C-alpha cells in the first residue's frame, strides 16, 4: 500500500464476535422495558459530544486513509451525523408515539393503534468511502428506534475505523453499541449470527451476499447499494450551473461516491459549450494541470492500490477502444492519484459503460432523441440517483415519470443526501429500504399492531353456525365485503 496507515487494520476473533453479540442479546431483553425517549436522547447526546470531541481525529484519519480534504470531511462526514442527531431529537417524540388506526365496520367496537418497537440487536456494515458518516448515521436511527448495534467498519480505511471505535467506546457501553473490526472473514462471521436487522452500505454484488446470509436467519435488511447514476443535460440547461454542480458531485471524494453522476447524456445543441464549461470548472476548482491538481489540498485520492489499478484500467480500456480523452487521464501510482478525467466518443463495449465507475472519470455522451436516452436508462438496472439539468419543468417531469430511480436531483447533484426529511434509498439493484430521519427510524423499527376489544360484536359470528349465524355472516359478506 503506498499510503502507509498509522493504524493497521484489525481483525476480531470468532469467540469475541459471538461474545459481543450474546452480551447485546441479553442486555436488549432487559433494556426493552426502560429504554424510553429520554434515555435514547441521552445516548444520542453522548454520541454527538463524542463526535465533536474527536473532530480533529476524524479529519486526520480521513487524510491518512485517502487524503480527504478537511473541509470535505466536515461537510460530508461530520455534519450529516450531527444533523441526523439534531433532527432525530427534535422529532423523536412524534415518531415514537403510537398511531391510531381507524376502525372499519368489519371490526366495529374495537380500538386499534400501531406501536413502533425496537427490532432488537442490529448489525451495521459500513463502507470505506464515507467511513464515519455511513457508520454513525445509521447508528443514530438504530438508537432512536431503541436498538443495540454492532458496527463493522471497513478495513480499507483503518485510521477511520480506529476513530469510530474510539468514539463508540467514549459514548456507549458495549452492551449497547460495539465496534468489531476486521476483514471479509469477520463480516461473514457476523452475518452468520441471527441479528434482528442488518443495515448494509456497499456494492450491489456484496449486497446480494448480505441478503443471502440474512435469509438463512430470516433477518430483515436495509441495503444501501449503488450503480451507474445517469445525468441528463437538456437543450435548455443553464450550462454554467450544470457544470458547477456536476463537477462538485462527480469529483468530490475523488468520485468515490455511490450517488455521484456516473455518466452524462448531453444534448448535441449544447454539447460543445457544456464540455468547455466542465473543463473550465475543473480548472477553477482543482487546477488546470495535473501538477496543480496533485498539489491542491482540495482533491482526494483513490483509497488504495487495488482501486487505483481498477480506475486506471478503465481509462486505458476506453482509450484502447477508441474513446477520446477530453481532459485528464494522467495517473500517479505513487500517490494513488487519478486526474479529473472527461471522456467522450464512448461505446457499449468499453468497461466504463458497463461498470460503476466509482472514481474521477466522467463519460460524456451526446444525444438528440431523449426517448432513446430514456430507453437506455430503463434497459439498465435502476440507479440510486438520476440527475436532470434543464430550465424546463416539463422536460424534467417526463424523465421523472418515465424512469425509475432511488432519487432524482433537478439542477443539482448529491445534495438530496443531506435532506433529513427525504428517504435515502435505492430500487432493486441500487438498494432495498430507506434511511435518514423518520425513514431511518422506521427501518430499525417493527410496527406492532395492537387491537383492543371495546364493544365488538364479532363474537356473534363465532360457531356454532346456527341458521341465525349463517344469515348474519351472509349479510356481513354481502354488505361489508
- Per domain, the residue ranges of the chain are 14-225+432-447, 230-423
β-partners of residue 293 are: none
Measured over the CA atoms of residue 418, residue 339, residue 155 and residue 427, the dihedral's sign is positive
Concerning whether 72 is annotated as a catalytic residue, the answer is no
Here the cell at position 467 is 341458521
Beta-carbon contacts of 231 under 8 Å, excluding residues fewer than 6 positions away, are 246, 261, 262, 263, 264, 265, 386, 387, 388, 389, 413
Give CA–CA dist 129/256, Å, rounded. 6
Q: Which stretches within 173-252 are classed as H helix? A: 184-191, 204-216, 239-251
From the list 441, 397, 412, 367, the residue with the least C-alpha distance to 93 is 441
Give CA–CA dist 321/128, Å, rounded. 31
Q: What are the phi and psi torsion angles at 344 (to 5°)?
A: -125, 180
Peptide bond into 464 cis (omega under 30): yes
Give CA–CA dist 122/111, Å, rounded. 32
Here the cell at position 77 is 462526514
The pLDDT of residue 125: 98
The pLDDT of residue 9: 64
Q: Considering the entire predicted model, what is its pTM?
A: 0.95
Give CA–CA dist 390/410, Å, rounded. 8
CB-side neighbour CA atoms (13 Å) of 238: 11
The pLDDT of residue 12: 78
Beta-carbon contacts of 393 under 8 Å, excluding residues fewer than 6 positions away, are none
What CATH code is assigned to 14-225+432-447?
3.40.605.10
> In a 10 Å sphere around its CB, with 0-12 CB exposed, 13-18 middle and 19+ buried, how is residue 440 labelled?
buried
Q: Which helix (H) or strand (E) holds 161?
A: helix 158-171
Here the cell at position 396 is 424534467
350-354, long-range: CB within 8 Å, 24+ apart, which pairs?
A: 350/317, 350/318, 350/321, 350/323, 351/313, 351/314, 351/317, 351/318, 352/263, 352/314, 352/315, 352/317, 352/318, 352/323, 353/263
Check 181, 224, 281, 438 and give the catalytic one: 224
Here the cell at position 296 is 491542491
Which residue reads 439498465 in cell numbers? 380
The pLDDT of residue 219: 98
Give CA–CA dist 366/346, Å, rounded. 10
Same fold, 14-225+432-447 and 230-423: no
Note the CATH architecture for domain 230-423: 3-Layer(aba) Sandwich (3.40)
Q: Which residues of the chain fall short of a pLDDT of 70? A: 1-9
Here the cell at position 432 is 432495498
Contact 314, 355 (CB under 8 A): yes
Amino acid at each position: 500500500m503506498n499510503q502507509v496507515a498509522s493504524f493497521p487494520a484489525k481483525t476480531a476473533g470468532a469467540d469475541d464476535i459471538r461474545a459481543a453479540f450474546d452480551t447485546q442479546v441479553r442486555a436488549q431483553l432487559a433494556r426493552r422495558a426502560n429504554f424510553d425517549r429520554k434515555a435514547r436522547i441521552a445516548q444520542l447526546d453522548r454520541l454527538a459530544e463524542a463526535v465533536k470531541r474527536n473532530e480533529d481525529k476524524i479529519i486526520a484519519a480521513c487524510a491518512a486513509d485517502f487524503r480527504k480534504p478537511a473541509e470535505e470531511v466536515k461537510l460530508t462526514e461530520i455534519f450529516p451525523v450531527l444533523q441526523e442527531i439534531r433532527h432525530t431529537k427534535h422529532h423523536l417524540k412524534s415518531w415514537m408515539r403510537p398511531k391510531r388506526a381507524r376502525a372499519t365496520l368489519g371490526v366495529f367496537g374495537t380500538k386499534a393503534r400501531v406501536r413502533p418497537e425496537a427490532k432488537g440487536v442490529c448489525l451495521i456494515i459500513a463502507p470505506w468511502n464515507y467511513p464515519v458518516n455511513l457508520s454513525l448515521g445509521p447508528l443514530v436511527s438504530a438508537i432512536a428506534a431503541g436498538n443495540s448495534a454492532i458496527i463493522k467498519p471497513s478495513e480499507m480505511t483503518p485510521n477511520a475505523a480506529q476513530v469510530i471505535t474510539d468514539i463508540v467506546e467514549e459514548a456507549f457501553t458495549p452492551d449497547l453499541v460495539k465496534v468489531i473490526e476486521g476483514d471479509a472473514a469477520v463480516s461473514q462471521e457476523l452475518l452468520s449470527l441471527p441479528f434482528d436487522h442488518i443495515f448494509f452500505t456497499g456494492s450491489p454484488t456484496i449486497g446480494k451476499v448480505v441478503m443471502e446470509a440474512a435469509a438463512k436467519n430470516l433477518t430483515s435488511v436495509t441495503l444501501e447499494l449503488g450503480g451507474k447514476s445517469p445525468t441528463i443535460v437538456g437543450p435548455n440547461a443553464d450550462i454554467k450551473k450544470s457544470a458547477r454542480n456536476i463537477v462538485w458531485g462527480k469529483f468530490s471524494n475523488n468520485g468515490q461516491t455511490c450517488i455521484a453522476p456516473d455518466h452524462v447524456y448531453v444534448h448535441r445543441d449544447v454539447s460543445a459549450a457544456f464540455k468547455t464549461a466542465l473543463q473550465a470548472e475543473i480548472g477553477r476548482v482543482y487546477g488546470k494541470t495535473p501538477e496543480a491538481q496533485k498539489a491542491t489540498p482540495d482533491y482526494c485520492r483513490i483509497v488504495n492500490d487495488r482501486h487505483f489499478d481498477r480506475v486506471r484500467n478503465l481509462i486505458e480500456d476506453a482509450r484502447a477502444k477508441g474513446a477520446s480523452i477530453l481532459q485528464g487521464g494522467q495517473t500517479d501510482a505513487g500517490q494513488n492519484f487519478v486526474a479529473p478525467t472527461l471522456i467522450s466518443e464512448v461505446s457499449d463495449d468499453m468497461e466504463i459503460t458497463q461498470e460503476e465507475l466509482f472514481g474521477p472519470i466522467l463519460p460524456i455522451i451526446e444525444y438528440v432523441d431523449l426517448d432513446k436516452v430514456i430507453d437506455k436508462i430503463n434497459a439498465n438496472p435502476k440507479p440510486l440517483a438520476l440527475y436532470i439539468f434543464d430550465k424546463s419543468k416539463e422536460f424534467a417531469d417526463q424523465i421523472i415519470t418515465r424512469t425509475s430511480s432511488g432519487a432524482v436531483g433537478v439542477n443539482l447533484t448529491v445534495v438530496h443526501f443531506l435532506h433529513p426529511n427525504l428517504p435515502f434509498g435505492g430500487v432493486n439493484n441500487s438498494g432495498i429500504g430507506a434511511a435518514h430521519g423518520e425513514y431511518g427510524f422506521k427501518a430499525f423499527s417493527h410496527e406492532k399492531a395492537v387491537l383492543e376489544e371495546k364493544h365488538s360484536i364479532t363474537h356473534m359470528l363465532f360457531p356454532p353456525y346456527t341458521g341465525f349465524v349463517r344469515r348474519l355472516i351472509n349479510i356481513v359478506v354481502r354488505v361489508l365485503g
